[in-house]
Amino acid sequence: MKKLTFYLMMMVLSLGAFPTTMFAAENNVGAVTPKEIPAEVQKMLNRLDEIKAMDKSELNSSEKKELRKEVRAIKSELRSSGNGVYFSVGAIIIIILLLILLL
């Protein structure tokens, strides 16, 4: 029994040795199709594209400042609209340890 727990603990500890970037490369974030994007988010993305395509050399400083504020507001709203649940590697290891100890 002691050997089994020792091997399980070593396996769990070795999982933490892998770099997290290796696992992050497997997720393809850019593979979202347009039909999965809500209409409100698509409007904000289109507005960001419009602002990027603008010729800003003819604008005065106050207009540029307003555009920067608008871009920041849109980006912060897009970040806050993400409803994902994220687990860190440490949290996963703790969950596995608790499952092993409690079962």
For the chain, the domains span 37-103
* Residue showing tokens 């999982």: 15
**pTM for this entry:** 0.46
Is the per-residue pLDDT at 32 higher than 70? no
Tens digits of residue pLDDT in 44-81: 899 999 999 999 899 999 999 999 999 999 988 888 87
22 vs 15: which has the higher pLDDT:
15
Contacts for 64 with CB less than 8 Å, ≥ 6 apart? 56
When pLDDT is averaged across residues 19-38 and rounded to a whole number, the result is 58
Longest dimension (CA), the chain: 76
Q: How many angstroms separate the CA atoms of 87 and 78, rounded?
A: 21
> What pLDDT score was predicted for residue 17?
61
pLDDT, residue 71, reads 93
Higher local confidence (pLDDT), 67 or 6: 67
Q: For residues 85 and 47, which has the higher predicted lDDT (pLDDT)?
A: 47
